[in-house]
Structure 1
Amino acid sequence: MPPDVAPSMIARIVPVDACAGERARAYLDTLTKPPGSLGKLEALAVQLSSITGELMPRVTPPGVLVFAADHGVAAEGVSAFPQAVTAQMVANFASGGAAINVFARQIDAHVEIVDVGVASNLTMHGVTHAKVRQGTANMALENAMQPEEAQAAIEVGVAAVERARQAGAKCLIVGEMGIANTTASSAMLAVLAGTPVAQAVGAGTGINSVQQAHKVAVIERAIQARQADPDDPLDVLAKLGGLEIAAMVGAYLAAAVHRLPAVVDGFIATVAALVACRLCPAVRGYLVFGHRSEEPGHATALEALDAQPLLALGMRLGEGSGAALAFPLLQAAAGMLNEMATFADAGVSDNNSQ
């Protein structure tokens, strides 16, 4: 257990309740359907029971947490958009106009926008101000963060989950916003998974092939210069990561503490999940992977976590958008356990009847 990451919190994380999952699995076979006929939805229902320890789990209402921060490496020209877009998108979130706001309204989710490291001072209403610093340093030139800054950002994520839980959230959808955060995530993944940088790098916000080659070169230079320890996820996070990525790590850890399902979004969210699971392997059981991003590194990150996402819609937006779109499947899985009739209740003969 890393001594400087909320050890009391990590000590409270226990593996999911396998016995509760088995009870759910047996109960599913008493419902009015052929055994296993609802496929992956049944596996999801079993996981939700394992997470909550309940035969009849609840996942509503969901809470959406979007962490925003800037990245110093944006100065290297690795993104199709200027750094100012991070703050502009935070304003869009706060006014309810972004994709995640639309999708959150469809599932009746409360959205909290958290400024954990935007490079400018934000004053708009509807944003939680928890800024650790004004963006990370340029990882091509120096460590992105100091270890204590990474820890502070993790704690921001923990605190956001506490607020969501106190507001009644039964499931968490975690998203992010930060120009150049695919660069940071690709660098982290290359080190944590031992994979070539080119395999982890995609178009991000829409760069062309020449820009993509430049992005690979910048990341390779940063990895060489920073010498992050692949066996120390916090070292990788601090030297190559982002403040919003660290906050997401904290959110996943806190979700596991409180036995809340956490729906993981795309590439950046999955890299954060990989860090959380490296810190505490028991976290893995609490994670539901919402969708498969078009970012090429996402496949590598998913493989590292032995994860099979629920959806594959060709998306690469971030914000928690894919996780929000996957949430109705969690509702359906929980509803199946809570509302479907058993063979006995319905007076229907099952395949064991004589």
Structure 2
Amino acid sequence: MTPPYTIPALDRALEPALRAKLDGLAKPPGSLGRMEALALQLGLIQQRLDPVVQRAVLFVFAGDHGLTQEGVSSYPASVTVAMVQSFLAQRASANAFAQATDTEVRVVDAGVAAELAPHPALLDAKIALGTANAAREPAMTLAQCETALARGAKIAADAAAEGFDVIALGEMGIGNTSSAALLMHRLAPAPLAACVGVGTGHDEAGLARKQAALAHAAARTDASDPLTVLAEFGGFEIAMMAGAILGAARANIPVIVDGFIASAAALAAVRLAPEVLPYCIFAHCSAEAGHRLMLESLGASPLLDLGLRLGEGTGGLLCVPLLRAAARILTDIVSLEDVLAGRL
């Protein structure tokens, strides 16, 4: 069986035709700035001169982290379950933005440390009741990591088969900025101090405690290959998001990457399969320390910079209308030739 992280390179044969079409529209070439680059990217991903971005879905991947035992978060792990219930009740920040951008929301139980009741908007993909404490032992086994990647890839493939034109990635998991910081440290790579931020809102003492715990975790292993690093330090929701990115690329649909934690998943996916990068659309630069440096390590230019640091996919949702508008550049704007010939 082909591993979910084996991705064919993006076919760029259509690029000259897409560029010619963009340059032939009734506007000065390049006058729509980065929106034209986004339209080109969508056309290449979908392999068509008339890309379509109508149906969008946000997957909020939820999982708990054993690292919380080290006091790396200012919130208890029980908040993960409570927030999952908020998503399912359509009362969280992500739901508000999803309503505003006509995006469906589905929650993925990747590894919440509780048994969740069935719900129409809940996908049960649980690997285990949270990861192990990465400061003391590997967060997950290699087999669990590969299972999470495969399940994430299938979620993306199923969304494509269902008719979604784009997927956005969000997450919920107390302690997951710590996991993301460790992944960034090894996979960017970058000094650990540059990767660790306040997360959900540490005071000075809390941040020092978080930094010490992550330094202890980093010293536990010298793992450097991406799969092992993901197993050593990742969360089930982060590994599953990485799989979803890989699965979206295989299905030729764009994937919107949200903030710091989703970008850590993208970093893992890109290190596993560099060919996946052109399928990723990076939504925004988070206010979380380290995110800008992480984006630079990926060579990524985010669409927005709004000081967001919530997660949940909120920044990704705000980019859905930008993708829809970019696609319409290629489908709705008349050509200059037709304008001059009076063919309107």
Q: Shorter-chain TM-score category?
A: over 0.9
How far off is 1:91 after superposition?
0.4
1:60 counterpart residue number: 54
Q: Percent identity?
A: 44
Of 332, 347, 353, 2:340 maps to: 347
Matched, 1:37 2:28: no
1:331 counterpart residue number: 324
Larger deviation, residues 124-133 vs 51-60 = 124-133
Deviation per CA, 1:177-200: give whole Å up to 9, x if none: 100000000011111123121110
How far off is 1:167 after superposition?
2.0
The 5 Å alignment of 1:1-354 reads 7-11=2-6, 13-125=7-119, 126-228=121-223, 230=224, 232-347=225-340
Deviation per CA, 1:208-231: give whole Å up to 9, x if none: 122112111111100101332x2x
Give secondary structure in 2 for the equivalent of 1:18: coil
How far off is 1:296 after superposition?
1.6
How far off is 1:266 after superposition?
0.5
Asked if the contact 1:290–1:311 (Cα under 8 Å) also holds between the matched residues in 2, the reply is yes
Separation of aligned partners in 2, 1:23 and 1:208: 54
Give secondary structure in 1 for the equivalent of 2:246: helix
2:226 is matched by which residue type in structure 1? P
Separation of aligned partners in 1, 2:110 and 2:257: 19
Asked if the contact 1:32–1:348 (Cα under 8 Å) also holds between the matched residues in 2, the reply is no
How far off is 1:8 after superposition?
4.5
How far off is 1:347 after superposition?
2.2
Asked if the contact 1:10–1:257 (Cα under 8 Å) also holds between the matched residues in 2, the reply is no
Query: Normalized against structure 1, the TM-score is what?
Result: 0.93
Asked if the contact 2:4–2:243 (Cα under 8 Å) also holds between the matched residues in 1, the reply is no
Separation of aligned partners in 2, 1:225 and 1:90: 32
Give secondary structure in 1 for the equivalent of 2:105: strand
Deviation per CA, 1:214-262: give whole Å up to 9, x if none: 111111100101332x2x1010000111000000010000010011001
How far off is 1:166 after superposition?
2.4
Separation of aligned partners in 2, 1:305 and 1:196: 16
How far off is 1:100 after superposition?
1.2
How far off is 1:161 after superposition?
1.1
Give secondary structure in 1 for the equivalent of 2:290: helix
Give secondary structure in 2 for the equivalent of 1:304: helix
Separation of aligned partners in 2, 1:153 and 1:110: 23
Cα RMSD between the aligned structures? 1.4
Asked if the contact 1:142–1:226 (Cα under 8 Å) also holds between the matched residues in 2, the reply is no
Separation of aligned partners in 2, 1:22 and 1:295: 38
Separation of aligned partners in 1, 2:48 and 2:90: 34
Task: Tell me the matched-pair count.
Answer: 341
Runs of 5+ consecutive residues of structure 2 not aligned to the other structure: none
Query: Normalized against structure 2, the TM-score is what?
Result: 0.96
Runs of 5+ consecutive residues of structure 1 not aligned to the other structure: 1-5, 350-354
How far off is 1:348 after superposition?
7.0
Larger deviation, residues 179-188 vs 208-217 = 208-217
How far off is 1:163 after superposition?
2.6
Change over 3 Å in CA distance of 1:24–1:300 after alignment to 2: same
Asked if the contact 1:290–1:327 (Cα under 8 Å) also holds between the matched residues in 2, the reply is no
Separation of aligned partners in 2, 1:226 and 1:208: 28
Separation of aligned partners in 2, 1:237 and 1:269: 13
Separation of aligned partners in 2, 1:347 and 1:193: 51
Separation of aligned partners in 2, 1:73 and 1:21: 45
Separation of aligned partners in 1, 2:101 and 2:161: 19
Larger deviation, residues 93-102 vs 235-244 = 93-102
Larger deviation, residues 193-202 vs 177-186 = 193-202
Change over 3 Å in CA distance of 1:96–1:8 after alignment to 2: same
